[in-house]
Structure 1
């Protein structure tokens, strides 16, 4: 990343070299504050993030955010963030699922150097990556610690998820000791606001039902299941530990590419959670990775005052207005979320396609 615009005294990103010994296989309990039992990664991320907040590098100062669980069986979590709704950068227009990267549009090579927190580099055998994964502040944060993970930003890759980028993001989840550090990816026409490869990392201080809901097996050999009984049914992939991440990342990205070939958009979400059958207990938890196929949305988002991207599909609703936050019901929220989803028969047919794809 270029250092254009750097000012004297600006902080520099920290090299963060990690190995297998840094992975936290069993996260801490739900104390609420991501800094309550931090790993080395949590400390580096949160200290850098707080420093940039004090320096005024965000679009707004973030204070406590009102949060409530909507009454109803699905436990949707609503959070009021009026400043994000008003101050975030307008999304770039998306005209195609294969829209190329445009160097003339805003992209992450234009970030100020002080917005960069970390350069993630994995130690150990194998060829070194040509460029690290950068961790940058999200200038319009959802909550404390919301960052962007930028795989090889100098290459100018469009917003289509590669296996290497997903694997790096999943490893970042395992580097955190907080059970609520989540990873999200919004594809083109599925909520992505910038067509330059990036993933979101953020702390959410509450569990979500999709971490423990049981799933129906589709391809047990590839750990692929269908997760229902949640706000947005999804294809679920599961990794019991770090050794499974390369194969899992490859499978998820092959499935995502298949969706794009079929003219569908997609979102991806990763969180610590139970095995697909559910009820694994603390010792049996691993990483759940959810893949949502959806109808592409090329125009402005409609709906009841909020768009639908990876957070909303996961059951977390960052809302931009107090009346909406106070008054929205589970039924109203689900109606908006389900407008983006595929009919169940089409989802089941896709499950058969993915089964053949991954077993072939």
Structure 2
């Protein structure tokens, strides 16, 4: 039997974890002959629990494997195993590297293209949403792929913005490939596949979802990425787990700073204290790699185009907003000394050209 079939059978049919497969492989001369192993050989395996040993013996039949493959085919689920040419090579370097990856879509780019992981709060503020949209969109404009976890909030916003900008994104599920969670993102999952990306999972089909799956999938998000950006995160946000994995994997960790009064920014601020690079624009990300010349030119062009848009009155308003971070229209009138009849049109113009955003009713801040 081919080794890829052995991996698929042990993982999908028997239900072994990657670590258990590794233990079995280390104790057997030729894992491809596992169907020929004696009862004694199976029961003498060290570090493998009795339940797993019994399942190996009970299900040691090619028919079970063929049935599993048929189910994968009917559900249009593809798979790749360690040793296959299309297996994402970056995953070899992570803890508990998956022996099998299940997916829908096209995973070839995972071995070729530069990618950035983007994660954050499931309940982002307006500021966090706008930051995720902007960063994802601009990174996609450089041909950089976005890796995220298809969770509601920052993950989904980043991936949707990537697609809307014509980019390619990959979603890593914390559930089985045939049971994508949350259900509200199934439409996004389909768009990811349709637009040239892929949705992947280390969990096969017909598997119960365990709570720890969602934390574990963060190591895969980090593993597939050349760096990880945390857009917005509370002090105990799950997104910080991805950042921890990225640091362990030797990847660049970036964090978007926010208001000192916002609980949703505390996680990012703590990351920055611990050495993460603060992000005030994508140039802060690009300059950490080999994109500095491109990013500098882009920044110059953008500044030039913005200067053409902003007149004297708008420039004054931008300066006030920049100084105060977030400010209401009444305060803008007060600090600029301008009449509201002049401020309102200027505000609308600045919003139209994406220079400022409305963070909440009547309050404005600069886009990063």
Same fold (TM over 0.5): no
Q: Which has the higher contact order (CA 8 A, sep 6+)?
A: 1
Which protein has the larger Cα radius of gyration, Structure 1 or Structure 2? 2
Shorter-chain TM band? under 0.3
Q: TM-score, normalised by structure 2?
A: 0.27
Using the size of structure 1 for normalisation, the TM-score is 0.28
